[in-house]
Amino acid sequence: LIVLGIETSCDDTAAAVVTGNGKILSQIVSSQADLLSRYGGVAPKMAEEAHSLVIDQVVQQALDNSSLTGEDLSAVAVTIGPGLSLCLRVGVTKARSIAGRFNLPFIGVHHMEAHTLVARLVERDLQFPFLALLISGGHNLLILARDVGHYVQLGTTIDDAIGEAYDKTARWLGLDISKGGGQALEELAHEGDSNSVKFKIPMRQYKDCNFSYAGLKTQVRLAIESRHVCVDKNPILSASSHERKSRADIAASFQRVAVLHLEERCQRAIEWAKEMEPSIKCLVVSGGVASNQYVRSRLNYVVERNGISLVCPPPNLCTDNGVMVAWTGIEHFILGRFDPPPPAFDPEDYMCDLRPRWPLGEEYLHGKSEAR
């Protein structure tokens, strides 16, 4: 079993070839981070053009690096949602054209399910049920994974995701975000005192598993303004050592509280999950922010305290990639969940495959009924 996975839901164009027993034969990621850093965010039309420009090359490179051609594949998997429809369409069109040309089954993949299930490629004996914390640019989810395609959502963000808060803070602190704001902020935070700015931990009064990062963002902005740290267009490279320290203090304090919020919510989610599924043994942490070493080490304490284990994919499988899409395709394919090969490619037809808004599983209302 050999599956090609394609990912274009946001700002990375990615493709990979993975075998049924979890061997990664190739993986290619072409990032738009540099473009985004110049324009201040994802502009759908611009992102679509960037995907269109590289998609053929990225997929071809993935096939070449695996020393395979389309004829050797068993199926093609592609992210069909959630995400920006203009961007999703680029990947789906490409996937359908390959599946059509080589007469291959087609598997439409949920982007957040892919972030979750890649943990089962990394940790081959990871069994259901498990708990998953998905932290990325657009999502902040706590889910109970009961089986492939069967998820219960314990919590989500009521406003921004943690990755968005990292990205904004990095931008405001004048960091070089050409390789991504989160990583730049994590690096600067090493130089700062994480107790120097007293940010408030979000949502403590709500005894649930939801998240909120908009208020923390506002607190950061106010701290920056009140300390007269020059921001936005004032790059950190030209800051004096005093000012650099001041920015590092804000970065470290932000990170401490942003992650404390995750820790508190995970603690509660573990308690809920143990009530629902006493056999639960593992917390999976995935999505771009899971590549952060501080996040990983703090969540490690949480799981140790609760007698369960942590599975956190390596950083290049936490951020958007084609491997997670190919692997999720494999998980579904094995269960017979795939579409027949598309007929001769029909450009009018592919719109029906996109699911730009697509919740992952049903919402859990603690203490009330399990599903709404």
The stretch near Fe ion (CB under 5 A) out of 123-131, 132-140, 158-166, 237-245 is 132-140
- Decide which of ligand ATP, Fe ion, none touches 155; Cβ closer than 5 to 8 Å per partner kind: none
Report what 108 binds from ligand ATP, Fe ion, none; CB cut-off 5-8 Å by kind: none
The H or E element containing residue 102 is helix 85-102
105: which 2 tokens? 């089954």
Q: Rounded to whole angstroms, what are the CA distances from 244 to 72, 155, 188, 252?
A: 54, 36, 9, 12
Tokens, residue 182: 């989160």
Out of 113, 167, 208, 249, which residue is the one contacting ligand ATP (CB under 6 A)? 167
Contacts of 105 (CB under 8 A, 6+ apart): 74, 75, 76, 99, 333, 338, 339, 340, 341
Of 319, 322, 332, 333, which lies in the binding site for ligand ATP, with binding defined by CB under 6 A?
319
Residue 110 interacts with ligand ATP (CB under 6 A): yes or no: no
111 touches ligand ATP (CB under 6 A): yes
Q: Does 137 bind ligand ATP (CB under 6 A)?
A: yes
Scanning residues 78 to 97, which ones bind ligand ATP (CB under 6 A)?
Answer: 83
- Asked whether position 136 contacts Fe ion by CB under 5 A, the answer is yes
Using CA of residue 125, residue 270, residue 327, residue 26, what is the dihedral sign?
Answer: negative
| Binding of residue 320 to Fe ion (CB under 5 A) | yes
Residue 138's binding partner among ligand ATP, Fe ion, none (Cβ under 5 to 8 angstroms by kind) is: ligand ATP
| Kind of pairing between the strands at 150-155 and 362-363 | parallel
Other Cβ atoms within 10 Å of 328 Cβ, number: 29
**Of the ranges 133-141, 202-210, 248-256, 363-371, which one interacts with Fe ion (CB under 5 A)?**
133-141
Distance of closest approach, residue 89 Cβ to ligand ATP, in angstroms: 16
Measure the CA–CA gap between 367 and 66, rounded to whole angstroms: 50
Half-sphere exposure for 182 (CA within 13 Å, toward CB) = 23
Which listed residue (93, 194, 292, 328) binds ligand ATP by CB under 6 A?
Answer: 292
How many residues form the binding site for ligand ATP (CB under 6 A)?
A: 24
The reply to whether 353 sits near ligand ATP by the rule CB under 6 A is no
Binding segment toward ligand ATP, per CB under 6 A, in 121-129, 143-151, 175-183, 332-340 = 175-183
Where is 265: in which H helix or E strand?
helix 241-276
Other Cβ atoms within 10 Å of 347 Cβ, number: 9
- Residue 322 CB, nearest approach to ligand ATP (Å): 12
The binder of ligand ATP chosen from 81, 105, 182, 322 (CB under 6 A): 182
CB 7 within 8 A of CB 30: no
Q: Distance (Å, rounded) from C-alpha 289 to C-alpha 286?
A: 7
Residues that bind ligand ATP in the complex, under the rule CB under 6 A:
9-11, 83, 111, 136-139, 163, 166-167, 180-183, 186, 287-289, 291-292, 319-320
Residues that bind Fe ion in the complex, under the rule CB under 5 A:
136, 320
